[in-house]
Amino acid sequence: MNRKITAICAALILLSALVMQFAMRSIRSTFCIAIADDCDNKCIYLTFDDGPSDRVTPVILDILREEDVKATFFIVGKRAETRRYLVKRQYDEGHTVAVHSYSHEYDNIYKNTKTLIDDIVRCNKLIYDVTGSFSSVYRFPGGSFMASDKLKAAVTDNGFYFVDWNASFRDAEIVDPKPEQLFEAAKETAAGHNRIVMLAHDSTDKSATAEALRDVIHYFKDKGYEFRKF
C-alpha cells in the first residue's frame, strides 16, 4: 500500500514538473509571438547580447551590412563606455541598440527593484548619450525567468518591454565551439518556428558566432524569412 502511495506521489510530482515546464515554455514563446504580431509570414529577429567588443562586434556589423540585414544589439553599458564608437556604428547603420545591463553582475542587478532599475537606467543613459534617443527594449541578463514577477512589473512600469528568445546559437553553452556547431544549433533550435527570436552574443570570446553568422543568415533567407529588428 505504502509503495503504491509513493509511486502515485512520484508520478504526481513528475506530472506537475512537466506542467510547470510546459507553462514556462508557453509563456515565453507567447511573449515572442506577441512581439512579432505584425509578421504575417516568417520573421526572424537576430539579437546579440553582451557586447560591444572590439574583436567580434565589428565583424558582425560588417556581415550584417554586406547581407543588408538589420539586428538588435542588447548592450552591456560598462563594456560600451570605452567603445562608444561601436554603439554609434550600430545605430548609424540602422540597427536597434537596446538595454541589456550596465554591470551584467547578477548578484547586484537582481537584489531588488531599485538595483535592477538603476542598472537599466545607467545603461540607457549611455545609449542616449551616444545615439540621442533612449531605448524602450530590454533583455533580462540570463532571460526573464531569472526575475520575479515583481521585478518584471518594475521593468514594464518603467516603460520598457522585455524580450526573451525562442532559438539560439547556443554560443554561451557550447565550450570552445566550432562555427558549424553554432550554425547547427541555430537551425535546430529554430525548427518549427515561423517567428524566431534568435539569441547570439558579440562579446570578445565569441568569434565563432561571427564566423557562423553568414551561413545562418543565408539559411533563413533561403527559407523565406524576413529579418526584423525590435
Q: Annotated catalytic sites, by residue?
A: 49, 201
Percent composition of the chain: helix, strand, coil (DSSP 3-state, to 5): 55, 15, 35
CB of 200 to Zn ion, least distance (A): 11
Indicate if the alpha-carbon torsion angle 219, 25, 51, 205 is positive or negative.
negative
CB of 5 to Zn ion, least distance (A): 45
Q: Residue 46 in contact with residue 69, Cβ under 8 Å?
A: yes
Task: Indicate the DSSP class of residue 132.
Answer: S
- Bridge partners, 212 (sequence order): none
Contact segment (CB under 5 A) with Zn ion among 78-86, 108-116, 133-141, 187-195 equals 133-141
CB of 7 to Zn ion, least distance (A): 42
Nearer to Zn ion, 32 or 43 (CB): 32
State which of residues 32, 50, 135, 195 lies at the interface with Zn ion (CB under 5 A).
Answer: 50
Nearer to Zn ion, 193 or 201 (CB): 201
Q: In terms of Cα–Cα distance, which of 212, 214, 224, 220 is closest to 184?
A: 212
Nearer to Zn ion, 141 or 179 (CB): 141
CB proximity list for 58: less than 8 A, separation 6 or greater: 86, 89
Is residue 119 close enough to count as binding Zn ion by CB under 5 A? no
Q: How many chain residues bind Zn ion (CB under 5 A)?
A: 3
CB proximity list for 9: less than 8 A, separation 6 or greater: none
CB of 123 to Zn ion, least distance (A): 12
Which is it for strands 195-201 and 72-76: parallel, antiparallel or unpaired? unpaired
Is residue 49 close enough to count as binding Zn ion by CB under 5 A? yes
Binding mask 1-40 for Zn ion (x = CB under 5 A): ----------------------------------------
Is residue 141 close enough to count as binding Zn ion by CB under 5 A? yes
Instruction: Report d(CA 207, CA 63) in Å as an integer.
Output: 13
- The C-alpha cell that represents 168 in the structure block: 539560439
Contact segment (CB under 5 A) with Zn ion among 113-121, 122-130, 139-147, 181-189 equals 139-147
Name the site residues for Zn ion (rule: CB under 5 A).
49-50, 141
